[in-house]
Amino acid sequence: MSAPQVVVHRDKELMAKAVAARLITKIVDAQAARGAASVVLTGGRNGNALLAALAESPARDAVDWARLDLWWGDERFLPEGDPERNVTQAREALLDAVPVSPSRVHPMPASDGPYGSDADAAATAYAEELAKAAGPEDHGPVPSFDVLMLGVGPDTHIASLFPGHPAVRETERTVVGIHGAPKPPPTRISLTLPAIRAAREVWLLAAGEDKAGAVAFALSSPGELQAPAAGAYGRSRTLWLIDTTAAAKLPPELRPPRTA
């Protein structure tokens, strides 16, 4: 477990550009060290803003896109190509513009895929895909992701793990079907906290005044059942990447100097 570090950016636009630059550096370093890199993407407004900033960055060409594995932390269980699916939004924001290898893009199953409307079967299949990608050097049945990114919701949810939801208590499975989510659509697929914690680095993204309460609450260490974001951490590093409005309710001892 790594203690969280907080980085505050001036606004959400600058935050997206800065996180994109940070991600490019991390991918390039991982590829230089191990030959390939693996990243878990997040959706939502902050995740998509980051991908759009990465697409616009001249430094994106430093990444060897053919040696990058892309996974997702959660997905709305909707038909393939639905505009609300995270993978659909990621393709529009970035993936269609870079030479990523299709075999190394790992979207979660859609509701009109081989598992039909069975979200639990789809989750099991994704867990099996992760297990096949894990090597003997990895920590458990998922790859040791170089970076796993998570958007933080106003209620402190991460991926599709919501406060008080049974999935937050999962200690063995790496991927679960989510039923009755308090945010539409109610049926989803999500990584669990054990899978999240296998990552080398976990980055939590939050921007906007509607996230200020969630950021302050999660960083006050209330426990993951009350605030799932509090239970997300990486093996070597945990970064909270936020803007000034999301940092507004942090107590002085948790508020670092603004970076830019």
pLDDT, residue 136, reads 85
Peptide bond into 114 cis (omega under 30): no
pLDDT, residue 260, reads 59
What is the C-alpha separation between 184 and 170, in angstroms, rounded? 22
What is the C-alpha separation between 111 and 22, in angstroms, rounded? 34
What is the C-alpha separation between 249 and 178, in angstroms, rounded? 31
User: CA nearest 224: which of 168, 152, 179, 186?
Assistant: 168
What is the C-alpha separation between 63 and 116, in angstroms, rounded? 36
> Residue 212 in contact with residue 247, Cβ under 8 Å?
yes
* Percentage of the chain modeled with pLDDT above 90: 92
Q: Would you write out the chain's pLDDT as a tens digit for each of its 260 residues?
A: 778 999 999 999 999 999 999 999 999 999 999 999 999 999 999 999 999 999 999 999 999 999 999 999 999 999 999 999 999 999 999 999 999 999 999 999 999 999 999 999 999 999 999 999 998 888 789 999 999 999 999 999 999 999 999 999 999 999 999 999 999 999 999 999 999 999 999 999 999 999 999 999 999 988 999 999 999 999 999 999 999 999 999 988 777 766 65
Per-residue pLDDT of 13-44, as tens digits, reads 999 999 999 999 999 999 999 999 999 999 99
Q: According to the 3-state scheme, what is the secondary structure of 100-133?
A: CCHHHECCCCCCCCCCCCCHHHHHHHHHHHHHHH
Report all structural domains of the chain as residue ranges with CATH numbers, in order of start.
10-188+199-220 (3.40.50.1360)
Chain centroid to CA 69: how far?
14
The whole model's pTM is what?
A: 0.96
pLDDT, residue 258, reads 67
What is the C-alpha separation between 94 and 182, in angstroms, rounded? 29
Q: Which amino acid is at 94?
A: L
